[in-house]
Amino acid sequence: MVESLSARNIVKHYGGVVALTDGNLEVHAREVVALIGANGSGKSTMSKVINGVVVLDGGQLLLDGKPIDFPSPQTAKNAGIATVFQELSLIPQLTVAENIWLTREPLNQFGMVDQKTVHARTEELLALFAGTFKTDLHPDAPVASLPPDEKQIIEILKAVSFDPWLIILDEATASLDSRQVGRLFELVQKWKEQGKAIIFVSHRMEEIFRIADKYSVLRNGRTVGAGNIKDINEKQLIKLMIEKESVLGFLRGEAKSGERIEQEISLEAQSLTTDYLRGVSFKLRKGELVGIGGLRGQGQRQLLHSLFGDLPYSGTVKLFNKEVHFKHPREAMRNGFALVPGERAKEGLLYIRSILDNLLLPSWKRYGLPLKVNQAKMDATQTGSSLNLKMAGLEEPVSSLSGGNAQKVVIGKWLMREPKVLLLDDPTKGVDVGTKAEFYTLLTQLSEEGKTILFYSSDDEELIGLCDRVLVMYDGMIRTELSGNTLTKENLISSSLGVTNGGAE
Amino acid sequence: MKQSGWDALVARRPALFALILLVLSLIINFILQPNMFARETLNSNMRVFLPIILLAAGQAIVILGGGIDISVGGTVSIVNTVLATRVGLEGSPEQMWQFVFLSLLAGLIAGAINGFFIAYLRLQPIITTYATSFIYAGLALVILPNPGGGIPAQIVSLYRNSTPFSLPLAVYIIAIVLLVWLYVSSTRYGKFLFAVGGKADAAYETAVPVTWVQFSTYVISGLMAALSGIAITMLSGSGNADIGGPMTLNSITAVVIGGNALSGGVGGVAGPIMGAITLGILQNIISFADIDTWWETLIKATIIVLALAAPGIVNLFRRRKRS
Amino acid sequence: MKRISISPPVAALILAVILFLLSGLLPNGFGSDLDVARAQATNILRLAVFLGVIAAGQTLVIISGAEGIDLSAGSVVTLTAILTYVIVNGANEKVLPALLVSLAVGAVIGLINGAGITFLKISPFVMTLGMSGVVTGTIIIVNQGSVSGKVAPIMTRLIARPLSPEIPIPNAIIIWLIFGTLMWLLLERTAFGKNLFAIGVNRVTARLSGVDVTGMNLATYSLAGALAGFGGFLVVGNTGVVFIALGQPFLFPSIAAVAVGGTLLSGGKGSYWGTMAGAIVLTLITSLLTTMQMPESVRRMVLGATLLILISIYGRQRSLRQ
C-alpha cells in the first residue's frame, strides 16, 4: 500500500495563461486534505496534474518519496489515483454499468464482457448510496436520462470502483443534496479507515470543517498555506484565500425592513404547472430580492426557465398586472426579463467567441444596420468596468476567463439591456469568495434600483443573508415561504426536507 | 423525465426503423416480383447487394466511433483496378487469391493513412477523407486509365453462382459479418467504440485509448472497403477506376437509414446492413414498377428522403398529440 | 512559449502567390513576360469567382454549426443554370427575371433543407445529400435529355468580359469583390451574422439569449440555397452552355475552399475572406495542373494531397491532452 504522494513546485501554463506557478500538495494515507482556493487559483489544474490529465511544465511528483511521472491518465490510475471530476467524465450514451466499468470490464474466457459480474458489482456499488436516489436507478439505465446529482454519484462510484488508494473529489458535492452529501461523508470516513487518502476540493467552508483533517490553500497558482484543520478557523482560511477580510460582512447582510411592501406587484404567477411543477403561485414586488430555496432538483430550474419562456407551461403569469405568456426566451427578453442560467458553460456562454460577442449577444439588434460596432464596444467596456470584469481585452475569448469573471459576462450581457425582472439560477455556484461578495453587492444594488430579482441558490447562507423572502420548493411546489423572523437556517433546512414545522404555511 | 414506451424502445433499438423499412420494402418487392424468394432470384439480388453491404458495415464502425469515411469509394476503386489489371482474364485462381490478400493489405494501408491524419494529427474526418478520396481515386485511375481488364471467369462464376445449402453465398458472408460484430460489440473494444463516439474527451479522462480506437475504426473501414472492392470485382468481372465513387454516399445513406447517429456513439452494424439491403430493394422496386426512366432518379431520391424523414415525422406527430 | 500565428486566409493567399510565381518557371509558364503573367493571374481569379460564390452559401451553413453542410449546392447550381438558360433564351430583358427565379428556386430548396434539418431532426449531411438527389431527379425530368435555350449577350458582357478595353479586369472579379464585401457586412455587421456565429458555437446559449435558433437555421439554409442559385446564374453566364453535370464538380471544392480558408468545420468561427482565398488556391492548383498537361489521375491526387497538407497545417483540432 502506498503511504504518501506529494507534488512539489508545480508549474503549468495553458497557452499564455499561467494556471500554477508554485503548487504544492502533500497527502498521506488515512487522511483527508482539503484543497482550497478562489476560482482561478489553480485548484482544478492541481488535481489534473495529480491524475495525469495535463502535462507538467515544471515541478515534481513524488510517490512514497520517489519521483514519478504520469504521462497519461492511465498511468496515474495504475498508480491507484482516482478522480471524481467536476466536469463529468461520463458518456451519456452508455449505461450506468458500462460507464462505471469502462476500461476495466470483467471479461470471460472469450474476451467478452461478463454481464453477470458487471451487473452484480454495479448493484453492490449502487447500494452504497441506496435510499438517496430520486429515480429508480438500475445498472442498465442510460446515463443521459439521469438527473445531475445522480450522474455525480455515478461519477463517484466509478472512481471508487477500482479500489484506489487516493481519491480526488473535485467539487464532487456541488450538485448533491444534503442527504447525499451526508452519505458521501460517511463513506469518506470508511475509506480513511481502510487506509485510503482523499483530496477534497470544495468552496463550502462548512463541509471542509466537517470532513477535512488537513488543508492546503492556493492563491493565484501558488500554495500559500497548509496545515492541520484544527489549527485554523473559517475567517483565517478565507483571509489566506483572498487577503482581504471584507467579504464576510456580506454573508450576513443587514436585516431587511418591510419598506418594500408599499411597492407595486411586478411579477405574479398563478398555479404555474409543467410536467414537473405542480401549481406554483407567488407575487413579487418591485425592488424585491426573493430567494428560492430547497434541495437541488425540486423544480427551481423548471420554474425559472418557464418564466423565461424556455419551457412550456400552463397557468397564469402577470407582469405589472398584465397577463403574459412567453413562448420563446426572446419574448421574455423583450418584456424586460433576464435569465442567468445554472450551467454557465453550456447555457450562458459562447465559449470560443470574444467577450464582446458574449456581452452583446442579446443586444445586437439595437445597434442598427450596419451594426455600430464602436458604440457597442464602448457600451461593453462600460458594463465590464462597472462589474469589475478582469480581462485582457474585449476581443479575448471568454474561455480565457476564470469562473467568476465568466459569470460576470453572463450577468453583464443582461445588465446591458437594463432588465426589469432578473431570474438567476444558482449564480454563485463554483464562484470564488471574492467574486461572490461582489455579486451580493450587485444584487442588493439592483434591487434598490427597483428591479425584481428571483434567485435560486444552493447556498443557504446566501439566501438568509441576502433575500427579503425565501420560497422553499419541494417536489415541484412552493412548500413554505420564509421571511423576517422565520427566515432562519433551521427553518430553511427543515422545510427543504419537506418538514413544515418552522415557517408559516 | 419519464419516457413513454415508444421513445424508450427507439432509444434502446435504434435499428427498429430500419427493420420496419426493410420489411415494408420486401413486401412491396414481393408483390411486384412474386418469385423474389426463389433461389435464383434471391441469389442474383444478394450478390449485387453484397458490395454495398460490406461497405456500409465498415462505414458504420467509423460513424459509431464519431467519424466518417468519404474515401471508401476510392479504396474500392483501387482494389478493383489492381485485381483487374494484375490478375487479368487469363490469370490463375492462385494469382487471384494472392492479389485478394494484397487488396486487403491495400485497404488496410488506405485506412491507416486516414486514421493517422484523423486520430494522430487530429484533422477533421470529413475533409481529411475527402482529400484522401481524391488521392485514392487518382491512384485507381493511374492503375487503370480506361475501363477494362478482368479476372478469371471461374472466379466470377464462383462468386455469382455459389449457393451452399440453397442459400446465396452473400447470406453466409453477411452472417459472418454479423457474428463478428456481435462478438466485437460485447468485448472491451466494443465498449470503447461507443464511448469514443459518444463523448471522446470523457472517454479520454477515463483512460480509454481514444486515439488508438479512432485509428482502428478507419483501418476496419479500409479493410471492409477492400472486401467490398473484391466482391464488386468478382461480381462485374472487369475493372473500372470510377466504380467506387458513387458507392461512398450510398454507404453513408445506408448507415443513417440503419439508425446510427452521424454524431456517433449510437447504433450498430445490423441496422446499416438492413439499410443497405433496403436501398438495393428500392432499386429493384423502381425497375419492376415500370416507371418512365426519366422519373427514376427523382422517385428514388424522394423515397430515400422520406425514409430518412420518417422517424422525425413520427416524432413530430407524437409531440403534437401530446401537447 | 509563443506560437507563431498566421491567420488562415492570409496563409492561403501567400500560398496562392507562391504557387503562382512558381508556375511561371514551368516550361510553358509565363517566364519573365509580365503581360502574360497578368493575363494568367486574371484568368485564374475569374475562374475562382464561380467556386467562390458557390462556396459562400457553404460558408454560412458551416458557420451555423450542428454539423451544418450543404451537399445540394452542386445540383442547385445545375438546376438554376438550366433555368436561366431556358428562361433567358437569348433575350436581354429576360435576364433579371431569370436571376430572380434562380435566387427564388435556390431559396425554396434551401428552405426545404432547413425544414427537414430543423423540424424533422435529419442530419444536414444526409438531408442535403437526399435533396441533391431530388433536385437532380427533377432536372432529369425537366430536361428529358435535351434543353433548348441560350444566354443573353448582356450576361456574357457583364460576367465574362472585362470592365472596359482599357481596364482588363473581368467584370466577374468586380462582382466578386462587391459580393465579398456584402458577405463581410452580413457576417460581421448585422445582427443576423452575430446570431449565426452564436448558434454555431452553442445553440442553448443562443436560445437563452433570445436568438430564434429555428428561424436562424431556416434562414441560413434558404440563404445558402439562394447563393447557390446565384452561382448557377453566374456559371451559365460564363460558360454559355448547360449540361447535367455542370454543378456537381463545384460541390466538394466548395467545402474544401471553406476549410482551406480557415473556417471551423464544427461551426462558430470563420470568414468569407478565408473562403475567397481558399477558392483562389483551389482554382490555381487545378489550372496549374491543367497547364502542366497532367492527366486527370495526377490532377486528382495532387489536389487531394494539397488539401491534406493545408488542413494539416492549420486544420488541427484541439488535442485531448493539454
* A252-276 pLDDT tens trace: 344 444 555 567 889 999 999 998 8
Cell of residue C73, nine digits? 449546392
Q: What is the 3-state secondary structure (H, E, C) of A246-276?
A: CHHHHHCCCCCCCHHHHCCEEEEEEEEECCC
Rounded average pLDDT over C201-210: 95
Contact residues, chain A, for C194 at CB < 8 Å: 357, 360-361, 364, 371
Residue B298 included in any domain: yes
Residues 6+ apart with CB under 8 A from A131: none
**A15 or A297, which is more confident?**
A297
pLDDT value for A500:
52
Rounded average pLDDT over C19-46: 80
pTM of model > 0.90: no
Residue B4 included in any domain: no
pLDDT value for C285:
87
Distance from chain centroid for Cα A2: 32
Is the confidence at residue A243, as pLDDT, over 60?
A: no
Which range is least confidently modeled, B94-98, B267-271, C115-119, C272-276? B94-98
User: pLDDT tier at B86 (50, 70, 90 boundaries)?
Assistant: confident
Contact residues, chain A, for B183 at CB < 8 Å: 110, 112
pLDDT value for C1:
35
User: pLDDT tier at A435 (50, 70, 90 boundaries)?
Assistant: confident
Mark out the alpha helices in chain C (DSSP H runs): 8-23, 34-63, 73-88, 95-119, 124-143, 153-159, 171-188, 191-201, 203-208, 213-239, 248-260, 272-291, 296-314
pLDDT value for A255:
43
Q: Which residues pair with A13 in a beta bridge?
A: A18
Q: Are strands A58-63 and A4-14 parallel, antiparallel or unpaired?
A: antiparallel
CA distance A276 to A313: 10
Q: What is the residue type of A492? A: L
The share of chain A scoring above pLDDT 90, in percent, equals 35
Q: Among residues A256, A214, A222, which one has the least CA distance to residue A240?
A: A222
Residue B143 included in any domain: yes
The share of chain C scoring above pLDDT 90, in percent, equals 51
* C100-147 pLDDT tens trace: 999 999 999 999 999 999 999 888 988 998 999 999 999 998 877 677
Nearest by CB: C194 against A54, A333, A357: A357
Cell of residue C4, nine digits? 507563431
Rounded average pLDDT over A74-98: 84
Same topology between domain A4-242 and domain A253-336+420-505: yes
**A353, A399, A417: best mutation site toward chain C, by most C Cβ within 10 Å?**
A353
Rounded average pLDDT over C188-203: 95
C-alpha distance from C246 to closest chain B C-alpha (Å):
17
> In CATH, what number is assigned to the domain containing residue B139?
1.10.3470
C-alpha distance from B207 to closest chain C C-alpha (Å):
11
For A4-242, CATH number out of 3.40.1440.10, 3.30.70.20, 3.40.50.300, 1.20.140.10 equals 3.40.50.300
pLDDT, averaged across chain A? 85
pLDDT value for A74:
80
User: pLDDT tier at A250 (50, 70, 90 boundaries)?
Assistant: very low
Is the confidence at residue C16, as pLDDT, over 80?
A: yes
Cis peptide before A67 (omega within 30 of 0): no
Is the sign of the CA dihedral B79, B81, B86, B87 positive or negative? positive
The share of chain B scoring above pLDDT 70, in percent, equals 95
Give the number of other CB atoms < 10 A from CB of residue A207. Answer: 16
**A319 or A15, which is more confident?**
A319
What ranges make up the beta strands (E) of A30-185? Answer: 32-37, 58-63, 66-68, 81-84, 166-170
C-alpha distance from A26 to closest chain C C-alpha (Å):
24
**C152 or A244, which is more confident?**
C152
Cell of residue A361, nine digits? 449577444
What count of residues does chain B have? 323
Contact residues, chain B, for C120 at CB < 8 Å: 309, 312-313, 316
Q: Among residues A216, A100, A214, A205, which one has the least CA distance to residue A160?
A: A100
Contact residues, chain B, for A312 at CB < 8 Å: 323
Is the confidence at residue C176, as pLDDT, over 70?
A: yes
Per CATH, the architecture of A253-336+420-505 is what?
Answer: 3-Layer(aba) Sandwich (3.40)
Is the confidence at residue B322, as pLDDT, over 60?
A: no
Is the confidence at residue A242, as pLDDT, over 80?
A: no
Rounded average pLDDT over B43-72: 94
pLDDT value for C319:
57
pLDDT value for A170:
85
Q: Are strands A289-293 and A469-474 parallel, antiparallel or unpaired?
A: parallel
C149 contacts chain B (CB < 8 A): no
How many independent structural domains does chain B possess?
1
B191 contacts chain A (CB < 8 A): yes
pLDDT value for C214:
96
pLDDT value for A505:
38
Residues 6+ apart with CB under 8 A from B286: B296, B299, B300
Residues 6+ apart with CB under 8 A from C246: C77, C78, C81, C82, C232, C235, C236, C239
Do C105 and C83 meet the contact criterion of CB atoms below 8 Å apart?
yes
Could A107 and B3 be called an inter-chain contact, meaning their C-beta atoms sit closer than 8 Å?
Answer: no
**C3 or B224, which is more confident?**
B224
Do A14 and C1 meet the contact criterion of CB atoms below 8 Å apart?
no
B:C CB pairs within 8 Å: 153
C-alpha distance from B184 to closest chain C C-alpha (Å):
26
User: pLDDT tier at B75 (50, 70, 90 boundaries)?
Assistant: very high
C-alpha distance from B130 to closest chain A C-alpha (Å):
26
User: pLDDT tier at B320 (50, 70, 90 boundaries)?
Assistant: low
User: pLDDT tier at A251 (50, 70, 90 boundaries)?
Assistant: very low
Domain ranges of chain A: 4-242, 253-336+420-505, 345-418
**A70, A74, A103, A275: best mutation site toward chain B, by most B Cβ within 10 Å?**
A103
Residue B18 included in any domain: no
pLDDT value for A84:
86
The share of chain C scoring above pLDDT 70, in percent, equals 94
pLDDT value for C315:
62
pLDDT value for B126:
86
Contact residues, chain C, for B121 at CB < 8 Å: 312, 316
Q: Which domain holds residue B50?
A: 45-310
Phi, psi at A201, each rounded to 5° = -105, 120
Is the confidence at residue B195, as pLDDT, over 90?
A: yes
Residue B83 included in any domain: yes
Which range is least confidently modeled, B242-251, B313-322, C280-289? B313-322
Contact residues, chain C, for B139 at CB < 8 Å: 297, 301
Could B204 and A73 be called an inter-chain contact, meaning their C-beta atoms sit closer than 8 Å?
Answer: yes
